[in-house]
Amino acid sequence: MKKFINLIDEKLKQAFVAAGYDEKFAKATISNRPDLCEYQCNGAMAAAKQYKTAPINIANAVIEELKDEKAFEKIEAVMPGFININISSAFLADYVNEESQAEKLGCNIEENPKKIVIDYGGANVAKPLHVGHLRPAVIGESIKRMFRYLGNDVIGDVHLGDWGLQMGLIITELQERKPDLVYFDENYTGEYPKEAPFTISELEEIYPCASAKSKEDSEFKERAHLATLKLQQGYAPYRAIWNHIIQVSVTDLKKNYGNLNVTFDLWKGESDADPYIPQLIDILNEKHLLHESQGAMVVDVRTEEDTKEVPPCIIQKSDGAALYATSDLGTLIQRKQDYDPDMVVYVVDKRQEMHFTQVFRVAKMADIVSPKTELIFNGFGTMNGKGGKPFKTRDGGVMRLETLIGEISDAVYSKIMENRSVSEGEARETSKIVGLAALKYGDLSNQASKDYIFDVDRFSSFEGNTGPYILYTIVRIKSILNKFLESSEITSDKMIPFASGSEKELAMVLARYNDVIENAIHELAPHKICAYIYELSNAFNKFYHDTKILACEDADKKQSYVNLISLAKKALEECIDLLGFEAPERM
């Protein structure tokens, strides 16, 4: 479906051309003086230079061509040459009527759908999800849903950290604790047990303990390095332990991501890149890209245009060990073989930007990805606690994501109990849904690349630019619609032309839906969807405040109101689904 603003552009273009001016000047924008008009066109100012006449002359000539235009309720030229436009209610009603019947409220499905891999989440096995994992999960999930909305073929991959030193640390610590396990008996030839020799809570305790030990005990660290190497070389008993670690960890991760309403299509990890590393080395050698530097094998990725230092990308350390970049390049070989994607988007901490600059350059130089493949680094900023410092628990430790989710849902719970007389059980259920919205909206409403302050009180407030406020608005509309249906039959699914004021303003915001959403998707910008639904919620609440909806005596008018707010509800619901949360029935 065409964008509302483009329909206005089309009318303006015809008028510019009819008046003898180039159509390139005919561009409408949303008015920045809503007290004066709804849309405006500033093209006469630019055209004046080309045509060497006063802008007001051009503006006057253009509006003369539009004086009988039915789409505009008012069009006027004002000094020095602005064209101010108000839309006619009938024209607006036609548009929103079409929108309400259209698939995805008039968003246009991609003409050439893309195959897109989204690399997000990035959890490390055997370590519990902590607050640092909130952003990649929440932002990545939203971007995945957004691309999918426009008909792209999107594959979400969690890309686990499952292959590094942490594995050797766990194996070594396990050997200290349980030396009698068959995995540590070199003469053992039988099958390895199916059951893991630890639970998730043990595993989560083993890792930090081993990590701390390795910092003090260099002999222990050496053994852990050796164990890592043996694992990577395929030593069967360690492989068996590794499989247990993955299985126990992934089960737990699925549960925790599930609580965030985050799901992945692929549960691949760094380990899956390992088989592609020999091939990677071959490709780099064939292209003469690899050279030795201080004992390591590296690829130079600097270019003339660089304004800051871009160090060489290290592919192999002197002991032959692979590095983070090696694993990401191996993964790209695998992704090319499996999907040959048009785009790979990495939702990763912005502090890793240099790493991805290096990886992308090597991938392009060595044709590891197709020329068509766009590699996008969507780096996010840090989530800080109040006071602008990185988020910590009271005793200074790293806060588990579960604890954070618990805190926000408790905050919402007490608000619900304060306000209403619902049962404790219902309040608990509702606060989980609303708490998740508070958390996700609090995050997504900030531009991803910026740092932000996580503020439980502010995020869980039912007023202001928050998730709960958006949900509250949806719940309010649902309740009006339910009441309507209790006493009335639906007589029409159309809206009749709107009265000026908050009714028309609400319709105006709705008419922009496809424009805003498509744009937010193309810019990978969930925060633009947040800004839009905040505006939409405000517009609805103003309308609700000004209007007796169900008490309206004119049945046609009442039906039209109901259809308008149904459309608002649908738009809000589509948007929160894109953001990755949902609304409760009541709150």
- Residues 145-174 close enough to bind ligand ARG by CB under 6 A: 159, 161
Q: Is the Cβ–Cβ distance between 560 and 495 less than 8 Å?
A: yes
Q: How far is the CB of 161 from ligand ARG (least distance, A)?
A: 4
| Number of C-beta neighbours around residue 361 at 10 A | 18
End-to-end CA distance of the chain: 35
The β-bridge partners of 28 are 41
Beta-carbon contacts of 258 under 8 Å, excluding residues fewer than 6 positions away, are none
Instruction: Tell me how far apart the alpha carbons of residues 324 and 162 are, in angstroms, rounded to a whole number.
Output: 12
Among 43, 106, 122, 168, binds ligand ARG (CB under 6 A): 122
Q: Is the dihedral of CA 293, 296, 299, 304 positive or negative?
A: negative
How far apart are CB 270 and ligand ARG at their closest, in Å?
8
> 134-149 vs 555-579: helix axis angle to the nearest 10?
130
**Residue 312 vs 379, nearer CB to ligand ARG:** 379
Cβ 25 vs Cβ 53: under 8 Å = no
Q: Which is nearer to ligand ARG, 81 or 136 (CB)?
A: 136
Q: Containing H/E element for 338?
A: helix 324-339
Answer yes or no whether residue 119 interacts with ligand ARG by CB under 6 A: yes
Task: Please tell me whether residue 435 binds ligand ARG under the rule CB under 6 A.
Answer: no
Phi first, then psi: what are they for 119, rounded to 5°? Answer: -100, 105
Rg (CA), the chain: 29
Using the contact rule CB under 6 A, the part of the chain among 27-35, 100-108, 117-125, 576-584 near ligand ARG is 117-125
Cβ 286 to ligand ARG shortest distance, Å: 24
Residue range at the interface with ligand ARG (CB under 6 A); choices 22-30, 88-96, 116-124, 415-423: 116-124
Question: Residues near 569 by Cβ (< 8 Å), separated by ≥ 6?
Answer: 474, 477, 478, 481
- Applying CB under 6 A, does 141 fall inside the site for ligand ARG? no
Nearer Cβ to ligand ARG, position 353 or 410? 353
| 358 vs 409 by CB, closer to ligand ARG | 358
Cα 319 to Cα 314: distance, rounded to the nearest angstrom: 13
Least Cβ distance, residue 450 to ligand ARG (angstroms): 19
Select 268 or 504, whichever has its Cβ closest to ligand ARG. 268
Min dist CB 524 to ligand ARG, Å, is 16
Which residue, 48 or 143, is less far from ligand ARG as judged by CB? 143
Would you state the structure tokens that stand for residue 229, as one six-digit string? 């190497």
Based on CB atoms, which residue is closest to ligand ARG, 128 or 161?
161
Q: Could you tell me which of 70, 10, 1, 77 has the C-alpha nearest to residue 37?
A: 77
In the chain, % helix, strand, coil (3-state, to 5) comes to 55, 10, 35
Chain mean position to CA 219: 44
Q: Which is nearer to ligand ARG, 276 or 543 (CB)?
A: 276
Ranges of H-type helices in 40-180: 43-51, 55-65, 89-101, 134-149, 165-177
Could you give the string, one character per residue 63-102, with x where binding to ligand ARG holds by CB under 6 A and - elsewhere? Answer: ----------------------------------------
The residue count for binding ligand ARG (CB under 6 A) is 8
Tell me how far, at minimum, the Cβ of 530 lies from ligand ARG, in Å. 24
DSSP one-letter code for 109: P
Q: Of the candidates 40, 89, 124, 514, which one interacts with ligand ARG according to CB under 6 A? A: 124
Supply the minimum distance, in Å, between the C-beta of residue 164 and ligand ARG: 9
Minimal distance, residue 244 CB to ligand ARG, in Å:
20
Task: For the CB of residue 334, give the shortest distance to ligand ARG in the complex, in Å.
Answer: 12
Give the shortest CB-413-to-ligand ARG separation in angstroms.
Answer: 32
Q: Which is nearer to ligand ARG, 159 or 432 (CB)?
A: 159
Residue nearest to ligand ARG (CB): 122
Closest approach of ligand ARG to the CB of residue 417, in Å: 38
Q: Least distance from C-beta 502 to ligand ARG, angstroms?
A: 46
CB of 100 or CB of 358, closer to ligand ARG: 358
Find the binder of ligand ARG among 44, 196, 245, 348 (CB under 6 A). Answer: 348
Minimum distance from residue 348 beta carbon to ligand ARG (Å):
4
To ligand ARG, the closest distance from the beta carbon of 400 in angstroms equals 15
Residues 6+ apart with CB under 8 A from 506: 536, 539, 540, 542, 543, 564, 568
CB closer to ligand ARG out of 124 and 261: 124
**What does the DSSP assignment read for 161-214?**
B-SSHHHHHHHHHHHHH-TTSGGG-TT--SPPPSS-SS-HHHHHHHHHHHHHHH
DSSP alpha helix (H) spans, 423-554: 424-444, 456-459, 467-487, 502-511, 513-522, 526-546
Length of the chain: 587
**Which is closer to ligand ARG, CB of 130 or CB of 558?**
130
* Shortest distance in whole angstroms from residue 328 CB to ligand ARG: 5
Max distance between CA atoms of the chain, in angstroms, equals 96
Under 8 Å between Cβ of 132 and 398: yes
Q: Which stretch binds ligand ARG (CB under 6 A): 118-126, 138-146, 256-264, 417-425?
A: 118-126
- Beta carbon nearer to ligand ARG, 106 or 122: 122
Q: Which is nearer to ligand ARG, 346 or 561 (CB)?
A: 346
Q: At what angle do helices 424-444 and 467-487 cross, to 10 degrees?
A: 130
Place of tokens 């030795």: 292
Could you tell me which stretch among 119-127, 315-323, 533-541, 561-569 binds ligand ARG (CB under 6 A)? 119-127
CB-count exposure of residue 230 (10 Å: 0-12, 13-18, 19+): middle
Binders of ligand ARG in range 315-344 (CB under 6 A): 328
Q: Give the position of tokens 């630890």.
A: 198
Sheet containing 290-293, strands listed edge to edge, beginning at the edge strand earlier in sequence: 290-293, 296-299, 313-316
CA 397 to the chain's CA centroid: 28
Residues that bind ligand ARG (CB under 6 A): 119, 122, 124, 159, 161, 328, 346, 348
